[in-house]
Structure 1
Amino acid sequence: MPAEAGTAALQSRRFLWLYALAAAGGAVAYVPFLTILLPMRVSAMAGADDVAWLAFATFFGAISASLSNIAFGWASDATRRRVPWIAAGLLLSCLLLGSFGAVAGMVEVIVLLVGWQVALNMMLAPLAAWAGDHVPDAQKGRLGGLLAFAPAAGAGAGVLVTLPGLASADQRLWLVAALVAMCVAPVLLFGRPRDIPGLGRGQDAGRPEARPRGEAVRMWIARLLVQVSEAALFAFLFFWFRAIDPAMTDARVAQIFSLILLGAVPLALTAGRWADRHDRPFAPLMLCAAGAACGLLIMAGAPGLEAALAGYFLFGLSASVFLSLHSAQTLRVLPRAEHRGRDLGIFNLTNTGPSLVMPWLTLALVPAFGFTALFLALAAFAAAATILLWRLPRKL
């Protein structure tokens, strides 16, 4: 943290921790449902056509999430209020999530999925912008470190709700909804963030009214490149491990993935605090992007399971820390504070877009050239992200 930053200009630890809990609640809302509960429900309802129906559901869900995130970010900007939108989105998304147990046809599932994505992003978009309204630049590294809890919480919730004998298929939906409410409600009720001078919409802490758009564009492209790599690995990791070692099980892959998410938390906290203390917001991002590229190169040339695991651990830890820290440091480069909700919605396209791009990239490379070609292409993406971040100013 810069020495000149006084405590009066810092946000309270209570808000930071409760906000991190709310962000974890956002991950709990969609990770167990989209990765486990929805595919299981589609498989039970659609039978042999489950893959096609799940593809349709994923496509329309991603489109609705992308558009609604921008729309509700803009709406919270226009009304100059975040909390009512977050509370309304929390209530509606929890009710709609529990309602999936009452639908009987796949068309109804897709319609309800679109509605749930809209309601969920009514909560998520203002929640992301709320951090920009109240967390100063001197604490954005710490905020990014705390945001690393979110993916781990989402994975943990998936393990919890699927414990044998804990809940039926319909009860799992309401259990997830209850967990989300328990995570998000505390910051709405007890967060009480301090008003930090210069963070309000229309003012920018002694900086020019509008910041250069080139910095935001480079950050946007860098995140997209890393997200495409992360999405490809998330979707096809099991198949790659099985190609190397046929004895690899889905349970072991899930354990490896969970271990990486947990390991990323202390690394992100350490890197975020270092960035604040030394006023070097982009250095950890650049190093993580480079680490992801190196991990992918190791994976591309891995002769056996040990090297493959080493490469994946390096990539997974680097990408997880990168995405957490990037989410916080993005708030520093948005061009205008009064449009941060809308602009964060545009940044959210880097989260939803890869799910539309990644399958075509994989189909174009893997059948003809194998996973080595895919990993080399993804390594090039991560290396390009490193170069983009290296060109950012050392400080902003």
Structure 2
Amino acid sequence: MLSTDADQPAALQSARFLWLYALAAAGGAVAYVPFLTILLPERIAAFSGQEKVETLAYGAFAGAIAASLANIGFGWASDRTASRRPWIYTGLVLSSILIVAMREVDSLTTLLVMLVCWQIALNMMLGPLSAWAGDHVPDAQKGFLGGLLAFAPALGALSAAIVTIPGLAEADMRLIIVALLVATMVLPVMLFGKPRPMPQLMETDATPEPRPATGRITIARMWLARLLVQIAEAALFAFLLFWFRSIDEAVTDNDTALVFAIVLGLSVPLALLAGRWSDRGNRPFRPLTLGAGLGAVGLVAMAAADDLSTGIAGYILFGLATSVFLALHSAQTLRVLPKPRTRGRDLGLFNLTNTVPSLIMPWLTLAMVPVLGFSALFLLLAVLCAVACVILWTIQRR
């Protein structure tokens, strides 16, 4: 049974805020997953015909740059104004208006401009929303928060499946459904979350800085470890179907989607258990170390696989380990950032680990797979995860 606010000690944040915040974070995923993976490619295809792949690549590149800069900029702006909520509200409204307005776009150029504007508006919401958790969730609950954040990718994928149900809605109506879903998921924490004040998490004139157990080296290690795991995760997400078909040509896109769904579904309870365990034993970095290490093991198994069953088993191990890693890492990052007055900006810099891999991964894959095959790529990615494991182990030992 879930604990109620009355059951929570004064030093901890209320269960209501934690669960509603997790819902809002999932709303952020719902805002971009169905649009960027399905709805946007459909619209680009309608305009660009045979050049749809190249156009989508250029759009994704421009959008990623805009998202990265906006996340840093609006995180910094919410630091300067010492208020997150106005930015979150404004970003929610503007991004909703822009995604619905894409129904009226009548040229490819306008669509790409609208895409960049939408990315900027969306990150006006996402940047301050991420920092808001750092303002109100104490270290003793960051593992649990990380577990709750595992709902975000799962619900993002589920929303993509829902809005594309045949016969549910026409293409234009799907955009409206996405906007309504996002508002329904983000607004409850804004209206009813009522987080308890956590003055120990906010910097004042009396607050010593930096907090113990933090420093630039630790922050850099956390950033690099996430970047390495994200590169591996991005490569697998993009090319898993092609690899499955290199083993068995009968594999369909639906088979691959089912494997993704299994991984996302199982990762939620696993991340919650790992987060609770890390909180109770005050072991914030141990699940991250294990996640990176097990991810490397899964990739080695995939590199050695000579049949589909072994390959799927290796991917499930990798997918579960890295999904838990990424969810818990997002929360534990808040632990190592030493300055509350720059929390939004610093989280924006950490967000680069989400966008930079999308710029690295295609070139890495194109350079290796045609010459050396997928096995060589997986072994290289396993090395990246193993390095992340070692980096996190050195933090754990400090």
The TM-score with structure 1 as length reference comes to 0.96
Q: Give distance in 1, aligned partners of 2:289 and 2:10.
A: 31
Counterpart for residue 370 of structure 1: 373
Counterparts in 2 of 1:379 and 1:149: CA distance versus 1, 3 Å: same
Maintained 8 Å contact 1:202/1:336: no
What is aligned with 1:38?
A: 40
User: Which of 271, 275, 287 matches 1:284?
Assistant: 287
**How many residues are aligned here?**
390
Question: 2 CA distance for matches of 1:255 and 1:209?
Answer: 44
Residue 165 of structure 2 is aligned with which of 163, 166, 171? 163
189, 192, 200: which is aligned to 1:190? 192
1:9 corresponds to: 11
Letter of the 2:119 counterpart: Q
The 1:236/1:203 distance shift into structure 2, 3 A limit, reads farther
Instruction: Identify the range of structure 1 (337-346 vs 196-205) with the bigger mean alpha-carbon deviation.
Output: 196-205
Deviation at 1:256, TM superposition (A): 0.8
Letter in 2 for 1:231: A
Q: How do 1:117-136 and structure 2 match up within 5 A?
A: 117-136=119-138
Are the counterparts in 2 of residues 197 and 205 from structure 1 also a CA contact under 8 Å?
Answer: no
Query: Counterparts of 2:74 and 2:397 in 1: how far apart (Å)?
Result: 33
In structure 2, what is the equivalent of residue 241 of structure 1? 244
Q: 2:153 aligns with which of 126, 137, 151?
A: 151
What displacement does 1:70 show?
Answer: 0.2
Aligned to 1:3: none
Q: Secondary structure at the match of 1:69?
A: helix
CA distance in 2, matches of 1:208, 1:361: 38
CA drift at 1:45: 1.4
Structure 2 counterpart of 1:8, one-letter code: A
Partners of 1:277 and 1:365 lie apart in 2 by 43
Please say if 1:213 is aligned against 2:225. Answer: no
The 5 A counterparts of 1:132-143 are 132-143=134-145
Q: Any gaps of 5 or more consecutive residues in structure 2?
A: 1-7
CA contact (8 A) 1:72 1:125 kept: yes
CA distance, structure 2, for counterparts of residue 366 and residue 322 of structure 1: 26
Contact 2:27 2:185 (C-alpha < 8 Å) held by counterparts? yes
Equivalent residues of 1:203, 1:209 under 8 A apart: no
Matches within 5 A, 1:252-267: 252-267=255-270
- Give the direction of change, closer, same or farther, for the CA distance of 1:388–1:204 in structure 2 (3 Å limit): farther
Residue 343 in 1 paired to residue 350 in 2?
no
Do the aligned residues in 2 keep the contact of 1:202 with 1:337 (CA within 8 Å)? no
CA contact (8 A) 1:31 1:155 kept: yes
The question of whether the paired residues in 2 share the 8 Å contact of 1:23 and 1:147 is answered with yes
Describe the SS at the equivalent of 2:196: coil
- Identify the residue that residue 76 of structure 1 maps to in structure 2: 78
CA RMSD between the two structures:
1.4
AA in 1 matched with 2:270: L
Q: Look up the equivalent residue of 1:140 and give its one-letter code.
A: K
Matched residue, 1:109: 111
- Name the structure 2 match of 1:250: 253
Residue 160 (structure 1) shift: 0.2
